[in-house]
A and B are shown apart, each in its own frame.
Chain A
Amino acid sequence: MGSRLALRIAIFGGVAVVLFAVLFFRLWRLQVLDGEQYLAEAKNNRTREYKVSAPRGEILDRNGELLVGNRTSLALQVNPRKLPEDPVERRAELSQLADLTHSTLRRVRRTMHEELKLAPAAPVTLRRDVGRFLVYYLQENQDRFPGVEVQRVFVRDYPNPTLAAHILGNVGEISEEELKEARYRGLQPGDEIGQDGVEDTYDRFLRGEPGLTRIQVDALGQPTPNGRLVTKPPAPGESLKLSIDADVQAAGEAGLAAYGSGAFVTMDVHTGEIIGLGSSPTFEPALLTPPLTQKQVDDTYRNPAAPLVDRAISGLYPTGSTFKLITALAALEEGAIGPTDVIVDGGSITVGGQTFQNAGGAALGAVDMTRALAVSSDVYFYLLGEEMWDTGGLQRWAHKLGIGRPAGIDLPGAEEGLLPSQHWRNQLYEEGGTERPWSVGDNIQLATGQGDLQANPLQMAIAYATLGNGGTVVTPHVGKEITDAAGRVLKEFDPPAQRQVKIDSGSRSVILKGLHDAAQGGEGTSYEVFGGFPVQVAGKTGTAQRVGQADQSWYVILAPYPDPKIVTAVTIEEGGFGAESAAPAALQILEAYFNKKTTGPAGPNGGSPG
């Protein structure tokens, strides 16, 4: 073999080496370096994923009674990709569907438009809870309705449609904005989340995890035989046990409903567990799941009575004489008055040229602290307000007891209200928000729960509970336990108290005695209501004057006396005197709680002005 040939063969061999090196390196890169990525691609290639929605956790009351469950429902969905492409046919089909679902073409189109904005190409739910006959009809005429699908979905089921509506809240599809929030990470358009109430607060427990069915498909997207891959079953949400007692809740709501708009809170004074909490008018959470009918929208969102507002935690009301507990405590603790100091109530006082009268103008004579509370002497408390008008003592104690600050409840939408003070008004005055600075009159108003004060029943309940338990400002909460499907407790909610307030036990017993006399003493303001109640209680009426409205009725009660376990605060908008509507409503709640009936003299219209 010649040397020229040898060179050629060597070059040939060199080329072969280079070509094989190229193949090896390429193979190495595909399989070893990038293999993981290609494996993911291959897996994605062969599977189609279908989400199987998980039922939300159940919500139970403290005794295990079901408040919210789930049921399956047939939902009518339209798959936009399978609708006819021809605009005329499309329109015809959609208007037929609109007719079948008692809707209009415009609303169907709008629903589709809105849902598709959130999740392009995903099936759009036109209506939930479609009847079986409509489903049969659609199935029999499938060829006439391309793109129409009926799917089984879980919907919330409420054994009692309105019970505890404000506590529970409703569920709804996650919105575009919510999808961006950290707490909803991992959710997808179309997923349901709690929109209000505990459905919102405890959403992460209740939500559950949707299951996934993976179906193996071939290159044409057709499911392969035996192609149902391991499916991840949906993990149902965990159950939430509330501290609510359904019976107390029902009694409270019935009490409210009997008297009109208002709210109530019943709370354990030691733990802060909410036993009942309601607001009137109320709503049906089940009806808030879109798509809504126009009537549903009008009845809920556009209703001037604002049924969706939870007045118990977000109401902004003057509290009337129920505030006197705070004034009394502040005066005693600040040394503005002694427990046995007597003041002669002449029916009115005049301070700085302004006359402040007792309600109804009655002169109540000699009153000490106990009697002042029992008969609700305004003059007594006016004088205390005057005494502390520039010391800030009243505000200090009101603040300690939670007035004008967040209540810390585990429900969304709570308002902190307003505790008027010298500082607040003077600053407002400097900013030009009001025509006069703080005056003694303002403090006199505050001392009897009038004027600029804004508070809600929950805050009053906390304040009374603090006195009732001897100085612990509890953290109110409705969530009690998270349990799994088998009922095992996974988590208990026992939020620590917000703070401790040092209350002299002498002051406490004087005030409690006064409240007890008010409810069950012969001349007490709510004796007519609670005189015959077999459990010893301590309760205070309130009648708040509101501009342009009839008086607002209040009642806050601690029971049993002298070592209270629960507090109940009730307010009725335009309910008149405290004993006129709020106190009878509170009585119903206590009767339910203690499971006892009133035996003695009592009538809804009894009692004297609060």
Chain B
Amino acid sequence: MYATRARLARLEPFAVRPGIAERLGLPYMDAPLALCAAALAAFSIFTLSQSTLHDVPGSPNYFVDRQAIYAVLGIAGMYLLARIDYSRFRELRVGIYTFLCVSISLVFVFGFAARGSRRAFDLPFFSFQPSELGKLLLVLALAGFVIDGARNGSDRQRTVRYLCLGLAPAALVFLQPDLGTSLVFGAITLAVMYVGGVPWTHFAVIGVAVVAMIAVVLAVAPAIGTPLLKEYQTERLTSFLHPSEDPSDAGYQQNQAKTAIGSGETTGRGDRATQTRLDFVPERHTDFIFAVIGERYGFMGAALVLSLYALLIWRALRIVTLSKNSYGTLVAGGIAAMLLFQVFVNVGMNLGIMPITGIPLPLLSYGGSSVLATFLAIGVLQSIHMQARLSQRGRFAW
């Protein structure tokens, strides 16, 4: 921040007194990106306010109040991160990576179990899920390692190193077990490697390995009697291939979500919504909030949300190209991939074309860890944008 101010003073000697916006750094931020994120958070609060009135007896605004607090905290965090030069994270990569792995591991010791999975700490005000913030931490650390190790060892050695660095925390998350988040970790790892220039041939090999692994996990391992996934996980992963009428089935839930969205038609059913109001669709404030939007606000509402995400990711990809240094490019690429992957998998799951993996919809799904982590990630993008604008300005002035 001091550096920024000093540079400002130097670059604009004739500016007698910089305006308040200038001092806050607002002109250097990507306004569409910030507005997009804020709009999605607002949409989330609006949807929750209409659809979760009766979820917690006695406090109709339970989810709304909390989500609003998370959003405010998230926006504050986004602003703070935007004003920090992200390049410092590159230097802190080892510390970040260590913190990432330790915080995830600590969940096994101190975390509380919910539905057969330990993935969060129970803090006084909310339960903190390290793996959510971990997504951003992994991007920051892994990008640093990639830049740093660019000159060490052969291509193959580097690829293996990045994979190991990325997949170690992913494995920890997987063991919680939290399949969805571990998949996000995997996607982030691959994206950072991709932007980092890992040869195409390596990706081909990785692709083959992934396909083989899926086959082993879903088909071969259960067949030889040593299943690697819990039964509910396998069922959820494959249910979108065989919708079911049995209410206790994962396929049934997915069917209900699909029916909910379809029944919204063009303009939505508003308060006459039944699918998402009467418990036909599970997890309606978190993983299946898109189904709520689809049923209540119809194609207009759902398409608006999708458009906001498209805009968000377009701005993120734009920042990838604007970055003043390779580290920024890698970080922005990782974050863009993280957002894209989560949006596609979650919305696809709601629409019945992707498996149920328990990945939240960034900014829309209720949940403090996810909302905060997403805003922070966008804060990092803003930081990259800001630094790029400032340096461009410097170049221009020179």
Give the residue name and chain of the A residue nearest to B320 (CB): A9
**A112 to B278 alpha-carbon distance, docked (Å):** 36
Chain B count of residues within 8 A CB distance of the other chain: 46
Q: Report whether B280 and A45 are in contact in the complex, using a CB–CB cutoff of 8 Å.
A: yes
* B358 on interface, CB distance cutoff 8 Å: no
Q: Report whether B329 and A5 are in contact in the complex, using a CB–CB cutoff of 8 Å.
A: yes
Q: Give the Cβ gap from A372 to chain B, nearest Cβ, in Å.
A: 84
Which of A20, A37, A38, A220 sits near B261, CB closer than 8 Å?
A38
Give the residue name and chain of the B residue nearest to A2 (CB): B197
Question: Which residues 257-276 of B have a CB within 8 angstroms of A?
Answer: 258-266, 269, 274-275
Q: Report whether A31 and B275 are in contact in the complex, using a CB–CB cutoff of 8 Å.
A: no
User: Interface readout for B293-312 with A: 1 if CB under 8 Å, 0 if not?
Assistant: 01100110011001001100
Q: Report whether A1 and B321 are in contact in the complex, using a CB–CB cutoff of 8 Å.
A: yes
Q: Report whether A35 and B263 are in contact in the complex, using a CB–CB cutoff of 8 Å.
A: yes
Q: Report whether B274 and A41 are in contact in the complex, using a CB–CB cutoff of 8 Å.
A: no
Q: Report whether B310 and A27 are in contact in the complex, using a CB–CB cutoff of 8 Å.
A: no
**A215 to B39 alpha-carbon distance, docked (Å):** 38
Complex contacts, A45 vs chain B, CB 8 Å:
256, 259, 274-275, 280
Q: Report whether B274 and A23 are in contact in the complex, using a CB–CB cutoff of 8 Å.
A: no
Give the residue name and chain of the B residue nearest to A4 (CB): B197
Binds B, one of A11-19, A178-186, A310-318: A11-19
**A216 to B279 alpha-carbon distance, docked (Å):** 12
Q: Report whether A216 and B306 are in contact in the complex, using a CB–CB cutoff of 8 Å.
A: no
Complex contacts, A43 vs chain B, CB 8 Å:
263, 274
Q: Report whether B262 and A16 are in contact in the complex, using a CB–CB cutoff of 8 Å.
A: no
Q: Give the Cβ gap from B284 to chain A, nearest Cβ, in Å.
A: 11
**A353 to B289 alpha-carbon distance, docked (Å):** 105
* B84 on interface, CB distance cutoff 8 Å: no
With contact pairs A31-B302, A45-B259 given, residues A219 and B247 touching in the complex (Cβ less than 8 Å): yes
Q: Report whether B353 and A26 are in contact in the complex, using a CB–CB cutoff of 8 Å.
A: yes
Question: Which residues 267-291 of A have a CB within 8 angstroms of B?
Answer: none
Complex contacts, A340 vs chain B, CB 8 Å:
none
Q: Report whether B333 and A12 are in contact in the complex, using a CB–CB cutoff of 8 Å.
A: yes
**A224 to B259 alpha-carbon distance, docked (Å):** 20
* A22 on interface, CB distance cutoff 8 Å: yes
* A424 on interface, CB distance cutoff 8 Å: no
Main secondary structure of the interface of B (DSSP, over half): helix
Give the residue name and chain of the B residue nearest to A26 (CB): B351
With contact pairs A45-B275, A220-B247 given, residues A27 and B194 touching in the complex (Cβ less than 8 Å): no
* B348 on interface, CB distance cutoff 8 Å: yes
Complex contacts, A24 vs chain B, CB 8 Å:
303, 306
Query: Which interface class (under 10, 10 to 19, 20 to 34, 35 or more) fits A?
Result: 35 or more
**A433 to B355 alpha-carbon distance, docked (Å):** 80
Q: Report whether A23 and B275 are in contact in the complex, using a CB–CB cutoff of 8 Å.
A: no
Binds A, one of B25-33, B154-162, B336-344, B371-379: B336-344
Q: Report whether B263 and A27 are in contact in the complex, using a CB–CB cutoff of 8 Å.
A: no
Q: Report whether A31 and B262 are in contact in the complex, using a CB–CB cutoff of 8 Å.
A: yes
**A224 to B277 alpha-carbon distance, docked (Å):** 11
Q: Report whether B306 and A20 are in contact in the complex, using a CB–CB cutoff of 8 Å.
A: yes
- Which residues does B use to contact A, with CB under 8 Å? 191, 194-195, 197, 247, 256, 258-266, 269, 274-275, 278-280, 294-295, 298-299, 302-303, 306, 309-310, 313-314, 317, 320-321, 329, 333, 336-337, 340, 344, 347-348, 351-353
Closest 8 CB pairs of A and B: A38-B262, A35-B265, A42-B263, A31-B299, A39-B263, A46-B274, A30-B262, A219-B279
27 interchain pairs, CB-CB under 8 A: A1-B321, A8-B194, A8-B197, A9-B320, A9-B321, A9-B333, A12-B194, A13-B317, A15-B340, A22-B344, A22-B348, A23-B348, A24-B306, A26-B348, A26-B351, A26-B353, A27-B261, A28-B299, A30-B351, A35-B264, A36-B265, A38-B263, A41-B263, A42-B275, A42-B295, A45-B280, A219-B256
Q: A1-B329, A35-B262 are in contact. List 17 more A-B contacts (CB 8 A).
A: A12-B317, A15-B340, A16-B313, A19-B340, A20-B309, A20-B310, A26-B353, A30-B258, A30-B352, A31-B266, A31-B294, A31-B298, A35-B264, A41-B262, A42-B275, A45-B259, A219-B278
